[in-house]
């Protein structure tokens, strides 16, 4: 599967979300069952880099 920027990603990261905090904004791919209030794995939509996100530090932008 390719991200919107053309990076290859693992197919189990199927949910695209926007996150914001006072320090940074992120657009990431997460697993469908990711608990966004806990720590979770994500793939950055801009760089394709794999991240570990502390969900309690971010707000999901709807």
pLDDT in tens, 4-56: 766 666 679 999 999 999 999 999 999 999 999 999 999 999 998 999 999 99
35, 41 contact by CB (below 8 A): no
Q: How far is residue 51's CA from residue 62's CA, in Å, rounded to a whole number?
A: 21
Half-sphere exposure of 5 (CA within 13 A, CB side): 13
pLDDT at 11: 75
Domain parsing of the chain, residue ranges:
13-61
Q: How far is residue 36's CA from residue 3's CA, in Å, rounded to a whole number?
A: 20
């Amino acid at each position: 599967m390719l991200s919107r920027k053309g990076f290859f990603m693992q197919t189990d990261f199927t949910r695209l979300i926007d996150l914001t905090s006072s320090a940074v904004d992120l657009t990431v791919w997460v697993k469908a069952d990711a608990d966004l209030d806990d720590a979770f794995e994500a793939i950055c939509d801009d760089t394709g880099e794999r991240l570990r996100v502390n969900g309690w530090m971010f707000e999901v932008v709807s």
